[in-house]
């Protein structure tokens, strides 16, 4: 079995709240989808806006290695000759090998939304499909609101499919446009529909597809159910972006098809690029990745509980349903107050340390104590690694803070200024420096660097890329405990450190000092 994957990220996905692709964005995503091995890429609706028209114009110069590009539009307007419909002409001018036509299948939508007759809607379908078949196009017929229409008036919903079939449509795609149909309903209706239409025309090749929305949270399940019932094409978007709560997540769906249903929709090699593809689309769309997204999320193979970690150290599949490498992801072991000794031993190995040289129980106890005071080590691996290194016999800190002072004052005519002074010991030598900054933490950072740079020039390459503050016990108001997380980079590697205190400057210093010490330890 080999299901055809039809991606509509650039059209249906672009209708999601907060998503706004430029032409360049669309071209980049389309080429990445082509490289991945997507069978169909729906580029947009050329008759709806200049951006999509430009996309199709530029797409004609691209050599597509795997995918067939589709232009999306609706059937002709009611009581209009198909040749005279401007939207139909725009679809033709897009010059794509595939044209996807959306048509109403529900009597409710025909009479109350299109405000036309049931017979005219059938004529619109026949004329539009036939027109594009006469121009040599592969035609995908998207039967909008099919499942709701089937429940409302089964015979008319099937009549719309017959109209498209008899006019020569290559694909009949059944759409759960409102996203409210349940998987068992989808499987039953799809099976009935396919059996009925094929029995009527046994000598005609008719292929079916599914287009599911996720309003009830079952779009992936509905798509898999439809494939079980006979659909050979699945439409969806990367990461499930789309209107309202989104479309069927093609990432999760194709992984399930390949790994759970033995479907050859993509090769093993291409599947290993799935995580990278997912994150690429999130990045281009300027959306925050869902860390809990199945298969490709950062947390998809993250293990925190001590019992779980102890088990996977013995047998990986004990708490993992697949090898994460198959989808380009990786296993992660988290460290927290819920950890066991196995978590700490695993992290030591991950950092290239010998667990036997580390006081594992001592580090574990220290982590539990610190998390009780507001620290959070799950995303701060650099602070965890430093704790493990410091627990090794003979470890000598690269610098030692003796004193610091931060002053913030308002000066007339100059606004608010911050000044920090630090006294640091390095190799037995004490250095006292002062720096001004636009805030207390900025001033502290500059003063610390001024003290350390003569001894450690490599710190010139280190910069802070993010600084996050979280209030732990907000009920304490201004006396609340503060957690500070700092993300740093040296241009080659990135790392995260954490600090926590009732004093935001102290919490910041802890994270800042860890960040600089870690920078001096890595190559």
Q: Crossing angle for the helix pair 360-372 and 381-390, nearest 10 degrees?
A: 130
Cβ-based burial of 199 (10 A; exposed 0-12, middle 13-18, buried ≥19): exposed
Strand partners of residue 516? none
- The boundaries of every CATH 3.20.20.70 domain in the chain are 4-266
pLDDT at 203: 82
Least confident of 106-120, 134-148, 216-230, 331-345: 331-345
CB 336 within 8 A of CB 378: yes
Confidence at 341, pLDDT banded by 50, 70, 90: low
pLDDT at 129: 97
- CA–CA distance, 233 with 71 (Å, rounded to integer): 17
**CATH 3.30.160 residue spans of the chain:** 399-455
| Tokens of residue 168, six digits | 């020569």
Q: What share of the chain has pLDDT > 70, as a percent?
A: 92
| pLDDT category of residue 492 using cuts at 50, 70 and 90 | confident
The Cα–Cα gap between 451 and 449 comes to 5
Determine whether 41 is exposed, middle or buried from the number of CB atoms within 10 Å of its CB (0-12, 13-18, 19+): buried
Q: Topology of domain 4-266, per CATH?
A: TIM Barrel (3.20.20)
Please give the residue that has the higher pLDDT: either 521 or 198: 198
- Burial of residue 355, with CB atoms counted within 10 A of its CB: 0-12 exposed, 13-18 middle, 19 or more buried: middle
The mean-pLDDT minimum among 278-282, 390-394, 504-508 falls in 390-394
Structurally, at CATH architecture level, domain 399-455 sits in 2-Layer Sandwich (3.30)
Residue 169 vs residue 503, higher pLDDT: 169
Between 63-77, 95-109, 325-339, 497-511, the lowest mean confidence (pLDDT) is in 325-339
The pLDDT tens digits of the residues spanning 97-134 come to: 999 999 999 899 889 988 889 999 999 999 999 999 99
* pTM, to two decimals: 0.78
**Burial classification of residue 294, based on how many CB atoms lie within 10 Å of its CB (0-12 exposed, 13-18 middle, 19 or more buried):** middle
| Position 414 pLDDT exceeds 90 | no
At 355, is the pLDDT very low, low, confident or very high (cuts 50, 70, 90)? low
**Per-residue pLDDT band at 335 (split at 50, 70, 90):** low
Report the DSSP beta bridge partners of residue 52. none
């Amino acid at each position: 079995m080999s299901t055809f994957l039809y991606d509509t990220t650039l059209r249906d996905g672009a209708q999601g709240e907060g998503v706004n692709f430029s032409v360049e964005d669309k071209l980049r995503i389309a080429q990445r989808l082509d490289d991945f091995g997507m069978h169909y890429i729906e580029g947009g609706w050329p008759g709806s806006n200049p951006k999509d028209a430009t996309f199709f114009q530029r797409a004609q110069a691209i050599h597509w290695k795997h995918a067939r590009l589709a232009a999306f539009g609706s059937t002709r307007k009611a009581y209009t000759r198909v040749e005279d419909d401007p939207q139909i002409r725009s679809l033709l001018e897009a010059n794509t090998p595939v044209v996807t036509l959306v048509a109403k299948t529900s009597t409710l939508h025909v009479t109350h939304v299109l405000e036309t007759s049931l017979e005219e809607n059938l004529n619109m379908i026949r004329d539009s499909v036939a027109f594009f078949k006469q121009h040599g196009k592969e035609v995908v017929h998207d039967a909008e609101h099919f499942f709701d229409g089937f429940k409302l008036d089964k015979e008319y919903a099937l009549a719309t499919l017959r109209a498209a079939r008899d006019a020569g449509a290559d694909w009949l795609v059944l759409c759960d446009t409102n996203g409210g149909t349940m998987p068992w309903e989808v499987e039953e209706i799809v099976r009935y529909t396919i059996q009925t239409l094929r029995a009527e025309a046994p000598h005609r090749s008719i292929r079916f597809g599914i287009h599911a929305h996720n309003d009830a949270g079952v779009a992936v399940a509905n798509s898999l159910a439809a494939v079980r019932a006979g659909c050979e094409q699945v439409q969806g978007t990367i990461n499930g972006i789309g209107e309202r709560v989104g479309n069927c997540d093609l990432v999760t769906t194709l992984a399930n098809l390949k790994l759970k249903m033995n479907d050859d929709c993509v090769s093993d090699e291409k599947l290993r690029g799935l995580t990278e593809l997912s994150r690429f689309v999130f990045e281009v769309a300027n959306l925050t990745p869902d860390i809990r997204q199945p298969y490709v999320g950062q947390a998809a193979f993250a293990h925190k509980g001590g019992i779980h970690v102890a088990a996977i150290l013995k047998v990986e599949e004990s708490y993992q349903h697949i090898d994460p490498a198959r989808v380009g992801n990786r296993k992660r072991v988290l460290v927290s107050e819920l950890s066991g000794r196995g978590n700490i031993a695993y992290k030591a190995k991950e950092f290239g340390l010998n667990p036997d040289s580390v006081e594992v129980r001592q580090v574990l106890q220290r982590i539990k104590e610190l998390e009780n005071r507001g620290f959070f080590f799950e995303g701060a691996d650099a602070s965890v690694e430093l704790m493990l290194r410091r627990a090794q016999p003979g470890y000598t800190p690269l610098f030692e803070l003796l004193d610091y002072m931060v002053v913030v004052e308002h000066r007339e005519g100059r606004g608010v200024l911050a000044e920090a002074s630090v006294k640091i010991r390095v190799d037995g030598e004490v250095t006292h420096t002062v720096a001004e900054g636009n805030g207390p933490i900025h001033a502290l950072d500059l003063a610390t660097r001024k003290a350390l740079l003569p001894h450690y020039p490599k710190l010139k390459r280190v910069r802070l890329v993010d600084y996050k503050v979280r209030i732990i016990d907000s009920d304490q108001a201004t006396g609340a405990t503060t957690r500070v997380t700092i993300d740093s980079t040296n241009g080659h590697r990135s790392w995260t450190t954490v600090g926590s205190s009732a004093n935001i400057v102290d919490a910041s210093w802890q994270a800042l000092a860890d960040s600089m010490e870690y920078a001096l330890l890595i190559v």
